[in-house]
Every structure is written in C-alpha cells, then in structure tokens.
C-alpha cells in the first residue's frame, strides 16, 4: 500500500483521480495547491486531532500551543496523566476533550499501539481506535489520513467534504454522509488525496479559510 508521504504522492494521486473521474479536473484547477498536511503518528498526533475537533484551525493551533506550554512539546500519555483536569482545561481544552485524552492515555498504557494502528488496514485501525471512549469514526479516519499517510481514507462525516462535493459536482444541495461515501467509492484507491483536494476546494471557494469542518 503506497503511503501519502510527500507532495509527489499528492500530485500522483491527483493525476490518477482526474484520470478516473474527469469531473475533478475543474475542481483541481479551482483549488490551487493541495497541501499534504502530515502529522506525526502516535499519541501526540492523535492528541492534536482531538484538540482540533469542532473548532477552527486557528483556534486549534492556539489551544495546542497552550497545551504544549503546560505539558511540554510532543506530549506523551504520561504527561497527560501527570497534569490535573484544571491545568488542561486552563490551556483551552474542553472537559470532553480532557476526558478523551485521558481515555487514550489509559488505552495506550493498557496496550493500544498507535503506531501499529497507523500501519494497519483501515477497518482494523478504525475498530481499534473507536474502541476508545471519546474517539469516533471521524477522528479515527483523520488520524489514518494525516498521521498514517493512508492513501484511501475518506472521512465522509466531515461537513466541509460534504459541502465541497455537493458544490464541486453541481449536486442539488449537500449530500449526506451516506451519499458522499457512495460518491467517493469511485475514487479508490486515492480517496485520501480526494479528501485533501475537496478540503482545498472548500477553502478556495471561501477565500482561503480553513477547509476542515470539525
């Protein structure tokens, strides 16, 4: 399985996607640069994704900077365990996110191997990750996409992807999660690049604002 490790991989994926589905040609042209946006695998990468849930990219970056200021760069499960809820909440994390990070830390202490999840097949990895309280399918899929470089993950529950697909393909309104997952089936085995493309398209259509809807 080819991992999406660099910009050359993104370009290769875009070339294949436009070959598979010519409807994507004008979307690629309208999107401009399609960023790689890789993050580290392991606890730190997953913790950053949890932090970014349901907030803007700017807010997520600000909160993450404050979290690192409290528990140090490249946080570990032990670092989370060694700080109080109050300290983590003061850094900007919601109570739900603090609980999720603690659940992840406990799962890691109990044997969950996040690096192994990054290397596993999608279904196996999603099952292992969503077994942790507080991690839903979106979080698991985004971890595989950005931290594992998985080439064929499509976070169909993402609002921005739904909006961008509906807009870019000229559909009547925003497709549902089920509908957008079905649409994307034709883009295998490059759906992770398709997700990057539609996030870039979403951002370009909205004057450069962040394209991930968390």
Listed residue (53, 7, 6, 34) closest to 159, CA to CA: 53
Cα-based angle 55, 156, 106 (whole degrees, multiple of 5): 60
Contact 13, 151 (CB under 8 A): yes
User: What integer is the mean pLDDT of 64-74?
Assistant: 89
Q: How far apart are CA 147 and CA 56, in angstroms?
A: 19
The string of pLDDT tens digits covering residues 167-203 is 999 999 999 999 999 999 999 999 999 999 999 999 9
- The pLDDT of 68-87, averaged and rounded, is 90
- Asked whether the predicted pLDDT for residue 212 surpasses 60, the reply is no
CATH number for the domain running over 7-37+153-205: 1.10.1670.40
pLDDT at 209: 53
Lowest-pLDDT choice from 69-78, 101-110, 123-132, 171-180: 69-78
Task: Tell me if 92 sits within 8 A of 67, measured CB to CB.
Answer: yes
- Domain(s) of CATH 1.10.340.30: residues in the chain: 43-147
**43-147 maps to which CATH number?**
1.10.340.30
CA distances from 195 to 49, 75, 169, 213 (A): 16, 27, 14, 12
Peptide bond into 189 cis (omega under 30): yes
CB 2 within 8 A of CB 149: no
Every domain of the chain with CATH number 1.10.1670.40 lies at 7-37+153-205
Can you tell me whether residue 72 is helix, strand or coil? coil
């Amino acid at each position: 399985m080819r991992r999406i490790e660099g910009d050359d991989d993104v370009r290769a994926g875009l070339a294949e996607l436009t070959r598979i589905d010519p409807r994507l040609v004008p979307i690629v042209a309208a999107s401009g640069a399609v960023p790689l946006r890789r993050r580290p695998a392991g606890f730190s990468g997953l913790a950053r994704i949890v932090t970014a849930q349901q907030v803007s990219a700017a807010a997520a970056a600000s909160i993450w900077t404050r979290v690192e200021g409290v528990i140090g760069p490249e946080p570990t499960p032990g670092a989370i365990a060694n700080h109080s809820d109050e300290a983590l909440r003061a850094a900007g994390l919601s109570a739900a996110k603090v609980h999720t990070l603690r659940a992840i830390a406990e799962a890691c202490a109990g044997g969950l191997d996040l690096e192994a999840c990054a290397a596993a097949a999608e279904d196996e990895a999603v099952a292992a990750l969503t077994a942790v309280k507080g991690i839903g399918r979106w979080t698991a899929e985004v971890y595989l996409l950005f931290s594992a470089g998985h080439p064929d993950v499509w976070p169909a529950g993402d609002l921005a992807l739904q909006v961008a697909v509906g807009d870019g393909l000229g559909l009547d309104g925003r497709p549902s999660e089920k509908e957008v997952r079905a649409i994307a089936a034709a883009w295998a085995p490059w759906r992770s690049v398709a997700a990057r493309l539609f996030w870039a398209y979403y951002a370009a259509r909205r004057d450069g604002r962040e394209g991930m809807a968390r």
